[in-house]
Amino acid sequence: MDKDIEQLAVDTVRTLSMDAVQRANSGHPGGPMGMADMAVVLWSRFLRVDPKSPTWPNRDRFVLSAGHASMLLYSMLHLAGYPLTIEDITNFRQWGYPTAGHPELDVALGIETTTGPLGQGLATGVGMALAEEKLRNSFGPELVNHRTFGIVSDGDIMEGVAIEAASLAGHLRLGKLLYLYDDNDITLDGPKEWSYSEDTLQRFAAAGWQTLAVDGHDRAAIAEAISAGIADDSRPTLISCKTHIAYGSPNKQDSSAAHGSPLGEEEIELVKAGYGWEYAPFHVPREVYTFFADALDGHRQESSEWERNLEMRLAGDAELAAAWHTHFGDKPFAVAVPEYEPDARVATRAMSGDVVNAVASDRSDFIGGSADLTPTNNTYINSSTNFSAEDRGGRNFRFGVREHGMGAIVNGINLHGGLRCFGATFLTFSDYMRGAIRLGALMGAPSIWVLTHDSIFLGEDGPTHQAVEHLAALRAIPNLWVIRPATAAEVAGGWEVALNRREGPTALVFSRQGMPAGGTDPVPVDKGAYPVREGSDAVLLATGSELETAIAAAEILGAEGKSVRVVSMPCREAFLAQDDSYRTEVLGNGIPVASLEAGVTFGWSDIVGSDGLAIGIDRFGASAPAAVLAEEFGFTGPQVADRLRDWLG
């Protein structure tokens, strides 16, 4: 290979990054300058992508977990031929351009996931590698056989979410996962030694990873290490690449000063002089474009051959075609309401478990798991086994006590494509994975969160486990739909909404205690709310287990001559998305509105209005049986009727 051309490519990446950060007067120039050698080696020699077919299912995935070094990724995407232009780069971090301060998901541009919060990219990539293993087991290596590569930083490896995910990746022996570690000993505060003294490679080796160490500016050594990682399919690989942040900067190399601030015009001139760079800002030598076009040409051919092979195989095998279209098509999910005895009282988590198994028997692309709470979350797929290092066919994922890691991994699986994956834990522990939930909502990832034990009524476990503020906290996340069902029909409808919602994630929130199962007729969960009892004097909204209490209170007031309409509102987000006519049909026009939910009242004024009544629990719970808690916190039918009576005068 012509090393002069490769060096020119490396310096192009560095200068584009410096110029863009300087133009924006904001950003992180040092990381891209230090990472450029490893990025050019990876993209020109190993990464199998086709910029002309960016959604090619069998492409390699690349994750820049060190999202602050976003200009590294934008430079590589531009040079590789993705539709990301020099104009986009010159407008780095500006309104209306795809070159955001931290990479944001856009597969058409080659950005496989949103990164920025450190550790999330590393953990999301674990999910992508896990999805590849699962799909390769289902369809064989002729159709599914690709790798997940990434670049991670010191900051990524410090984060707990990354270590949770790395631990599981090693345990599951995800051998098609390889990360280059930009080991530059610098964090934003200053030298890494101020806050970190662990042996990172030993830590990952203990977790079951192959670990290697090279000079991060020795491209031959980097290539040799990547080849060694690819050769070992039995373990994920972490390659420590010892680099200099702000490589070539006379005054800022190896300094945190280059981490989060532009170098300055004078320093850039000095750096470019050291590189022997004589071009104007944002200039790309023509031979660099040719270098990357030649490097990726074989992958374009492979992509086309793969498409032809897929078409031929599907045409000759009806069973394979049906399975492929189930996994990669857009066939909607249909969810039937489970049947119970007429007077049955069943926890909605148990109803959900029945739905999970019914869906799994119908759809081979449906998978999921729990953060060590499978029996209590009711999430086990009975017809399948556990996914493991020995059994890639299993559809049950044992995430262990790793809520945050599970959140990012589930996002990665769903971003990869071909699978619909859920993750489960207690509602109160959604706090542990909030970062992943929020990032999934930002990306529009269609992840599904099963969150059980949804209120103080889980009882004796006490306030540490009793969710109080969590429904409000989740509802505060834009683009996340929160569904809290009250009956079997609402549980089935909630699952159907979640499974068919492709533009964002959904949280399904279920009870520990038994509730009336109700009938088998479908209900409009997709509309968010609907009346279950008519009335004209007032409207009482309720979610989940409080629906039963709301009906009881309305019946008490009805006997006194007060007509109270009861509305079940399993999903506020879906209701607020409806048009004015439907909302008026449900809530009436000028009728007083109250809400009833065993959680903080924060946010309910958006629905009931400033003159409405929000009945909730604006404090932590207590350890006692559920019936005692209901009495003590005012959540019995007679107590709610008293509150409404006083309110209505």
Catalytic residues: 403
Which residues neighbour 463 within 8 Å (Cβ) at sequence distance 6 or greater?
456, 620, 621, 622, 623
Nearest partner of 488 among 355, 357, 376, judged by Cα = 355
Tokens representing 222 are 């980097």
The secondary structure of residue 367, as a DSSP letter, is E
CB 239 within 8 A of CB 179: yes
Supply the DSSP string of 488-533, one letter for each residue.
HHHHHHHHHHHHH--SS-EEEE--SSEEE---SS---GGGS-EEEE
Which residues neighbour 487 within 8 Å (Cβ) at sequence distance 6 or greater?
515, 516, 517, 518, 519, 523, 547, 568
Rounded Cα distance, 492 and 333, in Å: 11
3-state DSSP helix/strand/coil % of the chain, to nearest 5: 45, 15, 40
Rounded Cα distance, 542 and 569, in Å: 6
Rounded Cα distance, 609 and 590, in Å: 11
Q: Which residue has the tokens 């009727």?
A: 641
Tokens representing 392 are 């890639």
Q: Which strands make up the sheet holding 593-596, listed edge to edge?
A: 530-533, 564-568, 538-542, 593-596, 613-615
The secondary structure of residue 469, as a DSSP letter, is S
Rounded Cα distance, 222 and 39, in Å: 10
Rounded Cα distance, 150 and 30, in Å: 18
Burial class (CB in 10 A: 0-12, 13-18, 19+), 275: middle
Which residues neighbour 132 within 8 Å (Cβ) at sequence distance 6 or greater?
144, 146, 147, 148, 176, 416
Residue burial 20-55, b: 16+ Cβ < 10 Å; e: rest = bbbbbeebbbbbbbbbbbbbbbbbbebbbbbbeebe
Which residues neighbour 643 within 8 Å (Cβ) at sequence distance 6 or greater?
613, 615, 634
Backbone angles phi, psi at 210, to 5 degrees: -80, 130
